[in-house]
Amino acid sequence: MIEIYNEKVQDLLVKPNARPKEGLNVREHPTKGVYVEEAKFVPVTSYLEIQNQIDMGTENRTIGSTNMNATSSRAHTVSMIIFK
């Protein structure tokens, strides 16, 4: 789960104070396609564990107040779930 805020990509599964200030790099691989370098992947085994990870990522989002919304995100969030 990542967010794009102020042209920087951040991993939402990592606490804000532990993230690199310069953000993460977006790369393209010939077989893997587009990916975020060093993004955290968390194996889960149930829908409850998926929900827990989404909740944690949501808590770590960047928010800021606007005139219309006191908890506006101002960021784009991308979540990826891979089923095996």
User: For residue 50, which of 13, 6, 20 has the smallest C-alpha distance?
Assistant: 13
Give CA separation, 38 vs 5, 27, 32, 56, in Å.
17, 10, 14, 18
pLDDT score recorded for residue 65? 64
DSSP class per residue in 16-42: GGGS-TT-BPEEEETTTEEEETT----
| Distance of alpha carbon 1 from alpha carbon 54, whole angstroms | 8
What six digits make up the tokens of 25?
């790099």
pLDDT score recorded for residue 48? 97
Q: Is the pTM of this model over 0.85?
A: no
Tell me the per-residue pLDDT of 21-75, one tens digit each, with 9 for 90 and over.
999 999 999 998 999 999 999 999 999 999 999 999 999 988 766 666 766 667 8
